[in-house]
């Protein structure tokens, strides 16, 4: 597998993202993986083999103890797959909020990162708790949110969306579409990935919007073959090729 750094149309890539393949970012969904007959770790392993370059562990209902176990399983799956597939680039694992768990793992020498939403732990508090090394991701979709993220000086990556209509979040607003997404990304002033309703068919439409990658949930977690789904998504985004037969969306 090639070690491509950043996706197409990079928007202000920073040194802190150097060496990463940002083209395809997976957010895990425990229930969707289970419905597809796999564990989260199994899904992640296949997805990384197919080209996922960033993983976010997300489970809003898990207890802290269960979430920590889940994170450890994902970390192990990522490292095992990197070794098996000969992947030399780092594949960062983000925790969705759960800052205390991230702090505990970091204190033990395990490298993790954190992504938060607008109503989660404030990014400045995340940086205060975790120190200077971990990457911090933030969900944002408004000019005021972009401005606050820039002013904080601690945000490394923005998740902007929903790019399209999505069923993953019941309270998600209407899909932005490629043109509106491009307008937002141009004003964000930080590296951005697009998220929400992205399928392999739609991924090609997001080329040229300024995002450095696409972020998906069900397009991989609910897919019958996560490795093939990841490969199709990544290829469509990087090269504009049509999807084969994977049709899940996030």
pLDDT digits (tens, 9 = 90+) for 234-249: 999 999 866 444 444 5
181 prior amide bond cis, ω within 30: no
Q: Does 10 map to a domain? A: no
Q: Does 2 map to a domain? A: no
Q: Does 212 map to a domain? A: yes
Annotated binding residue 217: yes
Q: Does 140 map to a domain? A: yes
Q: Mean pLDDT over residues 162-190, rounded?
A: 86
Domain of residue 94, CATH code: 3.20.20.70
Report whether 29 contacts 226 (CB < 8 A): no
Q: Does 84 map to a domain? A: yes
Q: Does 245 map to a domain? A: no
Annotated binding residue 152: no
Percent of the chain with pLDDT over 70: 88
Number of folded domains that form the chain: 1
Q: What's the DSSP call for residue 66?
A: H
Report whether 73 contacts 39 (CB < 8 A): yes
Nearest to 139 by CA among 190, 102, 199, 202: 190
Annotated binding residue 167: yes
Q: Residue 9: pLDDT band by 50, 70, 90 thresholds?
A: very low
Annotated binding residue 139: yes
Residue 150: count other Cβ atoms within 10 Å of its Cβ.
Answer: 13
Q: Does 9 map to a domain? A: no
Q: Mean pLDDT over residues 16-21, rounded?
A: 95
Report whether 215 contacts 207 (CB < 8 A): no
Annotated binding residue 225: no
> Whole domain around residue 136: which residue ranges?
15-239
Residue 128: count other Cβ atoms within 10 Å of its Cβ.
Answer: 12
The DSSP line for 216-239 is: ESHHHHT-S-HHHHHHHHHHHHHH
Q: Does 8 map to a domain? A: no
């Amino acid at each position: 597998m090639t070690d491509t750094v950043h996706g197409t149309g990079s928007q202000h890539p920073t040194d802190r993202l150097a060496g990463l393949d940002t083209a395809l970012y997976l957010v895990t969904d425990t229930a969707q993986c289970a419905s597809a007959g796999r564990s989260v770790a199994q899904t992640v392993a296949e997805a990384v083999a197919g080209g996922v370059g960033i993983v976010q562990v997300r489970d809003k209902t898990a207890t802290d103890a269960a979430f920590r176990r889940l994170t450890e399983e994902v970390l192990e799956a990522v490292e095992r797959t990197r070794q098996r597939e000969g992947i030399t680039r780092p594949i960062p694992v983000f925790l969705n909020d759960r800052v205390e768990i991230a702090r505990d793992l970091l204190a033990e020498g395990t490298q993790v990162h954190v992504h938060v939403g607008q109503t989660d732990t404030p990014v400045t508090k995340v940086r205060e708790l975790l120190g200077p090394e971990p990457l911090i991701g933030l969900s944002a979709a408004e000019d005021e949110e972009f401005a606050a993220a820039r002013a904080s000086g601690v945000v490394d990556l923005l998740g902007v969306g929903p790019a399209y209509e999505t069923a993953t979040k019941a309270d998600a607003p209407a899909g932005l579409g490629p043109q509106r997404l491009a307008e937002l990304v141009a004003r964000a002033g930080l590296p951005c990935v697009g998220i929400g309703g992205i399928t392999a068919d739609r991924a090609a439409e997001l080329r040229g919007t300024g995002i450095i990658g696409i972020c998906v949930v069900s397009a991989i977690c609910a897919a019958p073959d996560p490795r093939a789904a990841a490969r199709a998504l990544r290829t469509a985004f990087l090269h504009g090729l049509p999807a084969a037969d994977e049709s899940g969306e996030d």
